[in-house]
Structure 1
Amino acid sequence: MAQVLHENTQRIIEVSSSDLPLHCPMPNMVAWDSHPRVFLPIEVKGEALCPYCGTMYVLKGGAMGHGH
């Protein structure tokens, strides 16, 4: 049986460094007001999961190094 995917659920979105700081929902989403805005720490692991809608964000190029 095929799983029906609804907007802002169970999807993967690739983002770039120009999208940082990352928050969900993003302004260009159709349902941009579907849940409270939450900032996601994607820089360390290169990916982040929204706790509200389950959207997985993946950073192009992977995790960013620390510039210490």
Structure 2
Amino acid sequence: MAQQENTHSEIEVSATDLPLHCPMPQHLAWNSHPRVFLPIEKTGEALCPYCGTHYRLKAGEVVKGH
């Protein structure tokens, strides 16, 4: 996946992106703040406490637990 700026206020992610953390490896500023893991599995949404990026699971994504 090509690197991209982490300037979006909302990012859709898929189940293959889990466990979700911000910033994500494909962001150019991947070291812009400490990596934080975001619990998105139960609600389908998560907000990064550092940069305010809102993550949302893509419609129809199925999250499988252990």
Q: Please state whether the residue corresponding to 2:16 is helix, strand or coil.
A: helix
Output the TM-score relative to the length of structure 2.
0.78
Unaligned runs of 5+ in 2: none
Residue 27 of structure 2: aligned partner: 29
Deviations 1:6-51 (A, max 9, x none): x646610000000000000000001000000000000111000000
Unaligned runs of 5+ in 1: 1-6
Q: TM-score, normalised by structure 1?
A: 0.76
- Is residue 24–residue 40 contact of structure 1 (8 Å, CA) maintained in 2? yes
Which residue is 1:18 aligned to? 16
- Asked if structure 1 preserves the Cα contact closer than 8 Å seen for 2:13 and 2:58, the reply is yes
> Do the aligned partners of residues 62 and 47 (structure 1) sit closer, same or farther apart at CA in structure 2, a change above 3 Å counting?
farther
Deviating above 6 A after TM superposition, structure 1's stretches of 4 or more consecutive aligned residues are none
Aligned pairs, how many?
61
